[in-house]
Amino acid sequence: MDSCFDAEHVTPDANVSRPVLRIIFVGFALFTLLLPFGLSAHAQAFTGEIHGVTRDPGGLLPLPQAQVVLRDLSDSSKRTQISGGDGSFAAEDLSPGRYELEARKDGYADSRPVIVALAAGQNLSQDLTLGSKDAASPAPQNANSGSFFHRLFKTYADDWKGTGDLSADPKRRGYPAPVDGPPYPFSDWPYGGSPVIGVPWTQSSPFMEALWSGPHGEAWKNSGVQIYGWLNAGCNVSTSHKSRYANFPEAYSEVADACLPDQQVLYIERQPDTVQTDHFDWGFRFTNLYGLDYRFTTAKGYFSDQLLGKNNEYGYDLVMAYVDLYFPQVAEGMNVRIGRYISLPDIEAQLAPNNYTYSHSILYTFDAYTQTGINTTTKLNNHWMIQVGISAGNDVAPWVGEPNAKPTLNACVDFAWQEGRDNHYACLNSLNSGKYGYNNLQSVYYTWYHRFGTSKWHTATEWWYMWEKNVPNVGPGAPPAAASLLITGANGAFCDNPAALTCTAPEQAVVNYVERQFSKHDYLTIRNEFFNDYVGQRTGTKTKYSEHLVGWGHWIGTTILLRPELRFEHSYDRAAYDSPCLPCGLPGTKKSQLTFASDAIFFF
């Protein structure tokens, strides 16, 4: 009989009865039908399965539609599949052995390759966590070699030689970046209260590069957490000499003819991925500052006794402490920030690298610095963005209570056009009862950024108007009762009516920057401003001011920034500069001041 059995062509032997043939036929047919099931059961006893879930960079939420690659290490053969809507995947009928698993998806860094050993009949579970795309900067070629400090020093050496990370710009959503950062302190026009939605986080410090290229580098990358900071010091020579703080109201180089450590800063941070649009993400930031500059960042209720009680020249401040919650399904992305954060509008910021120049404009020196509350930022489309929030007020913790802390509204709208080269940002930065309290400023802002075509020139202009009501009169002839109304750290006013107990204190200011980029390492700054302290409540002198500055920024690699500047300022109605004793309240003795200054920032 042929090995190929065909029932239709069987010819029964004369010596074999039909019943016997029928039994043989039925038995063989049953054997043929049941053989696959028997083999399958036998195979299942000797094969296994690997299953799991692909997860987002935080490791908490499933990440759907990721490509899972499974490689058999015995012969390097591969299987690929796409994870489901819940992030699940399963590879079945696998022979026992060692397998390598990895997950990939556009907009994310590949998951860390995982090697597993599969036993016969085993059902093995292995989740795969993808990384943040921006945390996935290529490690140095000698990754995992040498000590941490060896890797750190090599990172600096590569940076200064210009042989550091030269990878292409990461994917973004929206208009292209209008300017280059560096050399500028930003590449997208800045706004407060949120990361710039649709823009990847490209922070990559030497400290993190050394960690990423070490034995636990993949774990650091996958976590998305970064630790970084800088050391900042500056020097100045001034025409004011009568006292230590003779340069005031210039800031942050207010100590005349000195070289001083301005701010030493440590960040611990994770930013949400706002480029992707398919899953919730989160972030946080803790910003620790020590130095002379804490005198400008202090908020009442946050370690504030250092300044308001003891008037220490140097101190510590937790400048920012917040969480970010990012919801990509709301419009084109909504971020909710909860905690202490930088006041929303402003070209400048307290942290040294966030500014074009070493010294700050008078406009920035005397407006709000930080707020503690909840702020919502929603990107409607590439043109429009809106913000709404509520805080305890300016530079005050909620637990301080009345009259200093009170519910305060903020609301902003941002409009961009010309492919993002032109940007308008209007804010009602703080609005409550407006009654006198610690920095209880009521304020409206307008900021305009513009790049001139495709040239290397751009400009940034900011205007604000602020006011505070029921401010105690401290002018000559003020009623004696006014002094009892003063709050420590909150100036009184030189009221227009000398006999008034209190009055409203308004201020108005405008500043303009003109910027020219010469290379990725060099830029020119020209700054002009006008400030009117109508009743002297902000600066302590009832006068108008103008300030004019020419500055230069020069980078060594991307880890050292030098910013020399020449600055001239003038007070029009009264002498505001070169006070013989500023803490004593003695008035200035000069109307004009010329300062040459420079600082250096060393990033780690």
Q: What pLDDT was estimated at residue 43? A: 41
What pLDDT, on a 0 to 100 scale, did the predictor assign at position 168?
Answer: 57
Question: E strands within 131-203?
Answer: 131-132
H or E segment at 442? strand 442-451
Convert the pLDDT of each residue in 553-580 to its tens digit: 999 999 999 999 999 999 999 999 999 9
Q: Domain 48-129: what homologous superfamily?
A: Carboxypeptidase-like, regulatory domain (2.60.40.1120)
At 524, the amino acid letter reads: L
Backbone φ/ψ region at 255: left (φ over 0), alpha (ψ -120 to 50), beta: beta
Q: What is the mean pLDDT of the chain?
A: 89
Q: For residue range 366-382, list pLDDT tens digits in order.
A: 999 999 999 999 999 99
CA pair distance 442, 409, nearest whole angstrom: 10
Q: Within 10 A of 25 (CB to CB), how many other CB atoms are there?
A: 13
Return the H-helix or E-strand segment holding 222.
Answer: helix 217-223
Q: Is the pLDDT of residue 332 over 70?
A: yes
Residue 586 carries which DSSP code? P
Confidence of residue 134 (pLDDT cuts 50, 70, 90): low
Fold of the domain spanning 227-603: Porin (2.40.160)
At 137, list the tokens: 């900067």
**How many Å apart are CA 278 and CA 12, to the nearest integer?**
70
Which tokens sit at 130? Answer: 């993808």
Domain ranges of the chain: 7-44, 48-129, 227-603
Number of CB atoms found within 10 A of residue 540's CB: 20
Residue 200 has what DSSP assignment? -
Among 154, 148, 135, 130, residue whose Cα is nearest residue 215? 148
Q: Which of 261, 240, 242 is nearest to 252 (CA)?
A: 261
- pLDDT exceeding 70 applies to what percent of the chain? 89
Model pLDDT for residues 29-81, shown as the tens digit of each residue? 433 333 444 434 444 457 889 999 999 887 778 899 999 999 988 888 899 99
Residue 27's pLDDT is 44
Secondary structure element (H or E) that encloses residue 48, with its range: strand 48-55
Nearest to 128 by CA among 74, 97, 98, 88: 88
Phi first, then psi: give them for residue 133, nearest 5 degrees. Answer: -60, -35
Please give the helix or strand (H or E) that residue 19 lies within, else none. helix 18-44
Q: Tell me, what's the pLDDT at 162?
A: 79
Residue 9 pLDDT more than 50? Answer: no
Instruction: Give per-residue pLDDT as tens, 293-317.
Output: 999 999 999 999 999 999 999 999 9
Q: Specify whether the CB–CB gap between 347 and 373 falls below 8 A.
A: no
